[in-house]
Each structure stands twice: as C-alpha cells, then as structure tokens.
Structure 1
Amino acid sequence: MDLGIKGKTAVITGGDSGIGFETAKKLIDEDVIIILSDLKKDELEKAEKELLVYNKEAKIASKACDLNDNTQVKDFAKWVADNYGGADILVNSAGARGAAGDFLKLTDEDWLETIQIDLMGAVRISRAFIPQMQAKKWGRMVMVSSENAFQPYVDESPYNACKAAIINLSKCLSRKYGEEGILVNTVSPAFIETPMTDAMMEQLAEDRNTDIDSAVEWFLQNERPHLTAKRRGKPEEVASVISFLCSEKASYVNGSNYRVDSGAVESAFG
C-alpha cells in the first residue's frame, strides 16, 4: 500500500529493537528516511545493519540519545535538523517497565525513575521535534502507550500511571497542534514479544522454577485471560497500525488511541 509518505523523515525512539525496529521496517517499505534512536550506539549500529539486510536501498541513520537528559534530546533534534532538514514523523516507542511491586513498598525514587523514563522522555522528545513539524506545516506523531493505561495491574502502578498519562499527553498535543497539520495519536499494545516482556518472562520463569515457554503459558492463563489469540503479540502487528497512523491515509485521525491487544482489555470503552 502506498501510504503517501515517500521521502518523509521519521525519527523512531526505542528503535533498535521490538516495536520501534519493526516500525522502521514498515516505513522503509514506504521509502521513508529512518533515523533510529536509543541508548546504546552499538545496538543502534546492529539494528542499522539488520535493516540494510532487510532492504539494501534503505535510507537509515542513527544516534544514541538518553531521553532522560534534556540536553541530549535538544542536541539530537538539532542534529536531525542540520543533517536531514528536520523530522516529519516522530514515533516514540522508547520506554521501560520501571519499578514494580507492592505499592506500599515503592519509594519516591522508584516512582520518579519510571516517570523520567516513560513520561518525561515523551515530553522531552515531543517538545524538541514539534517545532520542526510546525516549520513544515505537516507532521505525524505516534506515542506508544499500553493496555495498562486502561486495565492497570496492581504490581505495576508507576508504569500504569505513566502510560495513562501518555494518552492524555497525546490528546493534549493533538488539540494544540492539529490545526497546524500535526496529527498526534497513541497505540496501546498488550503482551508483545519485546525485550521488556522477555525480561518479565525470564523473571517469572526463575520465580516459578520453570522454563520460559511454561512461564508464558502460565502468564496467559492467569494474568492475561482475555487475550483471544492466546499468544504473545508480534511487534510487527503493532508496527502495522503505527505505520498507518504515520501516513497520509490517516489524515482524519487525530487524538485517538488504538488498542493492539487481542482483546486483553476487558472493557468495551477506552
């Protein structure tokens, strides 16, 4: 499908793996210039090589950036402006589960660490790149939230709160900048095969003294019983929705949230 974004420049945070990496592949198929960002330069270089294997004609660059550091974020945005004329598309898939456990045992530091990663990272990267889209009078922003925003899990209260805040932030930005041609939407996945859920399943397997496959099966039955697919989702299934929201085909979609969760969220609304 021609999404009408050939030649556009897309910045993808959390782009060296998981949903961000698969989104890069989808956008490469549309002849979009890809700029990956994440914490580790070596992981980004590895991702670049893999994407060039996927499509040797792909236009790809990368730059390490810690979204917790506002100076780094500003420098990253300037680098994109100086070298690529600014971003047309921003996909913020960077994030982490953060501190988890009994609410009464989580400290201020636990909460603030998660907020810095999962909420303030999105604030900083949006603040840095929106002016570039304003200059072009066109833009697409997609924030990756989570099922946890709608159906919170009791041992992940900081993550739940931050992911709900991401949806609220996206709605706020969509109302502010939509009239300038910058459309902002959110995608909320559930239990996708990513490094974050890999780590969760490894810990669960250790806690239950079992193997990873058995841990996943137990988790599906006991913690995610409403997943109709009865499996973990694939990153490319989320990336397909993100790539649509980045496109001209989504020109009347603004301030919306798309759940990619196989029915994990029990409510019909939200």
Structure 2
Amino acid sequence: MDLGIAGRTALVTGADSGIGLASARALLAEGVRVALTDLDAAALAEAARDLPGEHVTVAADLTAPADVARLHAEVVDRLGAPEILVHAAGTTGATGAFHDIDEEGWRTTLDTDFLAAVRVVRAVVGGMREAGWGRIVLLASEDGVQPYPDELPYCAAKAALLNLAKGLSKAYGPEGVLVNSVSPAFIATPMTDVMMRQRAQERGTGFEEAVAGFLAEERPGIALRRRGEAAEVAAVVAFLCSERASFVNGSDYRVDAGSVATV
C-alpha cells in the first residue's frame, strides 16, 4: 500500500532501538526522509548504520530545552522542517512500591516520559501549522489506562501522554496537523529485555522462562501469549503518519494483543 508520504520529512525520537528504530525503518521504506535522535550518539550511529534511504542522526537530551532547540535547528538545516513526528523516547523510570519512590524518582520519570514529549512537540508544531500539514504520533502504553502498582510514575506519564495527544488533536486538527497515540504492550525491546533478565535473575530461571512466567502472571490478557515485535507497532505508526490516515485524529491505537481488559 502506498502511504502517500514519500518525500516528507520525519523526526523520530528514541530511535537507537526498539519501536523508535523500527518506526524509522518503516518510514524510510515509504520514501520519507528521517532524522533519528536519541541520547547516545555512538549507539544511535550504530543503529542507523544499515538503514536504507535518506536519513541523519542527531544525538540530543530531550530533558534539556536548549538541546531540543538545537536538535530542531539541526534537523531543519540538514533535512528540512519536520512534517512528521514520532515520539518514541522513554524509559521505565522509577519502579517499586508507591511509598518507596521518592520525589526525585517521580520527577525524573515524568521529565523523561512526559515533558520530553511536550518539548519536542512545541519545537516542531509551528512548522507543521505553517505548512498546513502534519502528523504527530506519541508512543504511550497499555499502562496509561491499565496501571500497574509497581510502575506508577511510568503509568502516570503515559496517561498524561494520552491526554496530551487528545488535546493536541483538538487544538491543531483544524489546521491539518493530525495527532494520535499508539499504546503497545510487552514488546520485545531493550527495555523489556532488561525487565526479563532481572526477573530471570530474581527467580533463578532462564530468559524464556521469565517471559512465559510474566505473561502468565502479569499480562494474562495478552491472548497471543508472546511478546510483540517492534515492527508490528511500527506498521501502525507508519499508517498514522500517512495520507491513508487523513481522517484519523485524536485516537489511541492499542497494539497489545488484547492486554487491556476494557473496551
């Protein structure tokens, strides 16, 4: 299917691995010029080394407003103003019992998982409004509507992202800038790899046993009984960035194999 976005320019955050990298690859396959950003310049360059198509890498710290401004200026200079934003950057953040997570844990998690999105959207939305065309996709999570007690800062940040996407869709949809979110669940990424290695170590099992146990005990709603693949999420992201999604605005697409229990 031709998504109708060849020649557009995209900025993808969290692009050195996982869903961000898979989304960049999917957009490049559609002929989009892609700027990939993440915190570690060396890891980012390595991740992008074999990507096809026209792309650049720009390392940036999305928790630093000045660095976000520099990122935007460099992308504009090297590729042009971003017409597409895929914001996939994020981290698990502070975990544990609510009463054990201090204020700094909350602050750093919200800064990375929510306020970073605010900063990047603020940087790019002006150009999209001026052009009268734009696509913004924020990567949320099943946790945004189905919180887990040991990940409450992350859950709160993802819930805030869902609200942000909906609000932005109302503010800028009339100007041709369509904003949506995607909520994955338990995707095979470096972040969930770390979680499963820790689980395996704590329980004295192998990695695959840890995954199977987590599915059975913590994510019984995942009907397919496996972790998702980043490319499976990226396929939905690419659609939402496209002309084919020209009447999709303010929606959240769950890519969770049924994990969220509610309608």
Select 1:181's aligned residue among 161, 176, 185.
Answer: 176
1:88 aligned residue: 83
2:11 aligned residue: 11
Alpha-carbon distance in structure 1 between the residues aligned to 2:252 and 2:49: 32
Partner secondary structure for residue 198 of structure 2? helix
Select 1:67's aligned residue among 43, 53, 62.
Answer: 62
Structure 1 residue 129 corresponds to structure 2 residue 124: yes
Indicate conservation of the 8 Å contact 2:134/2:176, yes or no. Answer: yes
Shift of 1:164: 0.4
Q: TM-score, normalised by structure 1?
A: 0.96
Indicate conservation of the 8 Å contact 1:19/1:236, yes or no. Answer: yes
Shift of 1:50: 2.3
Partner secondary structure for residue 157 of structure 1? helix
Structure 1 residue 265 corresponds to structure 2 residue 256: no
Larger deviation, residues 88-97 vs 72-81: 72-81
Alpha-carbon distance in structure 2 between the residues aligned to 1:176 and 1:91: 18
Give the counterpart letter for 1:168 in structure 2.
N
Larger deviation, residues 92-101 vs 131-140: 131-140
Select 2:233's aligned residue among 232, 238, 242.
Answer: 238
Partner secondary structure for residue 44 of structure 2? helix
Indicate conservation of the 8 Å contact 1:81/1:132, yes or no. Answer: no
Give the counterpart letter for 2:2 in structure 1.
D
1:49 aligned residue: 49
Give the counterpart letter for 2:256 in structure 1.
D
> In percent, how many aligned pairs have the same letter?
49
**Superposed CA offset, 1:17-52 (max 9, x none):** 10011111111111100110000111111122121x
Give the counterpart letter for 1:39 in structure 2.
L
Partner secondary structure for residue 156 of structure 1? helix
Q: TM-score, normalised by structure 2?
A: 0.99
Unaligned regions of 5+ residues in structure 1, if any?
A: none
Indicate conservation of the 8 Å contact 2:35/2:79, yes or no. Answer: no
Unaligned regions of 5+ residues in structure 2, if any?
A: none
Indicate conservation of the 8 Å contact 1:193/1:234, yes or no. Answer: yes
Shift of 1:163: 0.2
Alpha-carbon distance in structure 1 between the residues aligned to 2:194 and 2:39: 17
Indicate conservation of the 8 Å contact 1:3/1:244, yes or no. Answer: yes
Partner secondary structure for residue 227 of structure 1? coil
Alpha-carbon distance in structure 2 between the residues aligned to 1:182 and 1:174: 8
Q: Give the number of aligned pairs.
A: 263
Indicate conservation of the 8 Å contact 2:182/2:255, yes or no. Answer: yes
RMSD: 0.7
